[in-house]
């Protein structure tokens, strides 16, 4: 195939380079090696004219073998590197080939990894590369034309839509508010939640629970989950966190192990070590999110420049795959909700 001949060309290029390199070595003379690297072996026995030549030969053989080994390893590495970057634009009609570039939200990493893995399995000729640069940056690269799809874990802003970006919601992510298992308060209103996070409510007894201080845990500035949470509750930049952790897992672990703690994570990671709190009396479940009743939810958008129908065949195939049964299964598997 096309790709393979390309690799062979590169290989032959390396072989040529290697030959040239050895020629240079020859011209410099092996004496150099004997002098600097082989100093131990010259000490073993007294040198005389007869065995000096033998030594040189032995040594040059060894060095040659080593050099060949090193060069082969090096060229293989180089091949692997160039192989990754190589694009194959002119794909045949029957089978898709080429690459799709995605960039954007870090929150969508799990989804993108799983989706691209199963997509590439179904279409062996296609390479999907995803960069996790953050929603804003991903949409910027899309607008600049450096990627095919911009991932965003929030709805597109008006100025982004004005840039010609199309919002394709592929999944919905729910944010669950979690608390430790011993907490008696399992239902809060979104107003109370905002007050807890802005530091106005400091003790669970104010919400009818035990006399236990509230330990307010959140994510670091710049995190997509934090952005979504604060925006949805309209408390952007007003939060008084006592702990800012830099991963979902860390929040989950801290909340589970700290009495009176409260935190927020993606809905799908909530497990039995913590309680997923009701908000305004609504359980954080898929049904409630799809019904639009649960407030803490956000769309996962794979934005394109212009309509999907205007995109390349590859990108169209990608979206077709997402909407296929296999694609839906992937979305469910990573704990997200399929939009209707």
Partner 1 sequence: MNKKAFIEKTAKIIFLICAVVAIFAVCAITLYMFIKGAPALAQVGVFDLLFSSEWKPTAQTPAFGIGYIILSSVVGTSVSVLLGVPVGLLTAVFLSEMAGKKIGDVYRSAVELLAAIPSVIYGLIGMMILNPWMYKIEKIIFANDSEHSFTGGANMLSAIIVLVIMILPTVISVSASSLKAVPDSLRSASLALGATKEQTIFKVVIPAAKSGILTGAVLGIGRALGEAMAINMVAGGSVNIPLPFNSVRTLTTQLVSEMGYAQGLHRQVLFTVGLVLYIFIMIVNFALLKARKKGVAE
**221 versus 291: smaller Cβ distance to partner 1:** 221
- State the minimum distance, in angstroms, from the CB of residue 239 to partner 1: 9
219 in Cβ contact with 177 (< 8 Å)? no
Query: Does 61 sit near partner 1 (CB under 8 A)?
Result: no
310 CB contacts (<8 Å, ≥6 apart)? none
**193 versus 337: smaller Cβ distance to partner 1:** 193
Query: Does 38 sit near partner 1 (CB under 8 A)?
Result: no
Query: Does 109 sit near partner 1 (CB under 8 A)?
Result: no
Q: Round to whole Å and give the CA distance between 275 and 204.
A: 15
**132 versus 319: smaller Cβ distance to partner 1:** 132
Site string for partner 1, 114-153 (x = CB under 8 A): -------------------xx-xx----------------
> Checking DSSP bridges between strand 126-132 and strand 98-104, what pairing results, if any?
parallel
Own/partner long-range contacts of 254-259 (Cβ < 8 Å, ≥24 apart): 254/217, 255/178, 255/179, 255/180, 255/217, 256/180, 256/181, 257/180, 258/180, 258/215, 258/217, 259/180, 259/182, 259/212, 259/215
Q: Round to whole Å and give the CA distance between 167 and 160.
A: 10
Q: Give the one residue of 96, 102, 104, 106 binding partner 1; rule: CB under 8 A.
A: 106
**237 versus 325: smaller Cβ distance to partner 1:** 237
- Segment lying near partner 1 (by CB under 8 A), choices 10-18, 239-247, 270-278, 281-289: 239-247
**259 versus 335: smaller Cβ distance to partner 1:** 259
- What is the helix (H) or strand (E) element at residue 256, kind and residue range? helix 248-257
Query: Does 21 sit near partner 1 (CB under 8 A)?
Result: no
- State the minimum distance, in angstroms, from the CB of residue 241 to partner 1: 5
Query: Does 18 sit near partner 1 (CB under 8 A)?
Result: no
71 CB contacts (<8 Å, ≥6 apart)? 14, 18, 21
176 CB contacts (<8 Å, ≥6 apart)? 264, 265, 266, 267, 270, 276, 277, 284, 296
Own/partner long-range contacts of 208-212 (Cβ < 8 Å, ≥24 apart): 208/184, 209/183, 209/184, 209/185, 210/183, 210/184, 212/183, 212/259, 212/260
Query: Does 32 sit near partner 1 (CB under 8 A)?
Result: yes
- Segment lying near partner 1 (by CB under 8 A), choices 24-32, 268-276, 278-286, 313-321: 24-32
Q: Give the one residue of 1, 15, 81, 221 binding partner 1; rule: CB under 8 A.
A: 221
Query: Does 244 sit near partner 1 (CB under 8 A)?
Result: yes
Query: Does 199 sit near partner 1 (CB under 8 A)?
Result: yes
* Paired tokens of 220: 């670091």
User: Which residue shows structure tokens 């874990």?
Assistant: 153
- State the minimum distance, in angstroms, from the CB of residue 155 to partner 1: 18
Site residues, partner 1 (CB under 8 A): 28-29, 31-32, 35-36, 106, 133-134, 136-137, 199, 202, 213-217, 220-224, 227, 236-237, 240-246, 250, 253-254, 257-261
């Amino acid at each position: 195939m096309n790709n393979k001949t390309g690799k062979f060309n590169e290989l032959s290029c390396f072989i040529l380079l290697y030959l040239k390199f050895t020629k240079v070595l020859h011209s410099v003379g092996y004496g150099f090696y004997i002098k600097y690297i082989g100093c131990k072996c010259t000490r073993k026995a007294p040198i005389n004219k007869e065995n000096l030549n033998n030594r040189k030969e032995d040594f040059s053989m060894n060095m040659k073998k080593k050099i060949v080994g090193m060069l082969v390893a090096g060229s293989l590495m180089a091949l692997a590197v160039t192989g990754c970057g190589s694009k194959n634009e002119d794909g045949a009609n029957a089978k898709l080939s080429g690459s799709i570039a995605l960039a954007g939200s870090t929150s969508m990493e799990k989804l993108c990894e799983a989706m691209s893995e199963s997509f590439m399995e179904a279409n062996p000729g296609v390479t999907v590369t995803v960069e996790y640069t953050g929603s804003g940056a991903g949409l910027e690269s899309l607008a600049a034309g450096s990627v095919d799809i911009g991932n965003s874990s929030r709805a597109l802003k008006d100025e982004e839509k004005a840039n010609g970006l199309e919002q394709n919601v592929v999944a919905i992510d729910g944010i669950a508010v979690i608390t430790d298992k011993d907490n008696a308060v399992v239902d809060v209103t979104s107003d109370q939640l905002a007050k807890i996070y802005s530091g106005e409510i400091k003790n669970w007894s104010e919400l009818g629970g035990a006399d236990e201080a509230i330990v307010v845990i959140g994510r670091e500035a710049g995190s997509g989950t934090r952005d979504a949470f604060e925006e949805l509750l309209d408390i952007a930049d007003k939060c008084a966190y006592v702990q800012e952790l830099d991963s979902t897992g860390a929040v989950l672990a801290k909340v589970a192990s700290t009495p009176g703690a409260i935190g927020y994570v993606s809905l799908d990671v909530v497990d039995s070590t913590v309680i997923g709190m009701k908000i305004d009396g609504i359980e954080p479940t898929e049904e409630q999110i799809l019904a639009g009743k649960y407030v803490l939810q956000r769309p996962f958008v794979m934005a394109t420049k212009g309509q999907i129908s205007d995109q390349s065949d590859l990108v169209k195939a990608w979206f077709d795959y997402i909407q296929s049964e296999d694609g839906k299964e992937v979305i469910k598997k990573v704990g997200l909700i399929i939009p209707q």
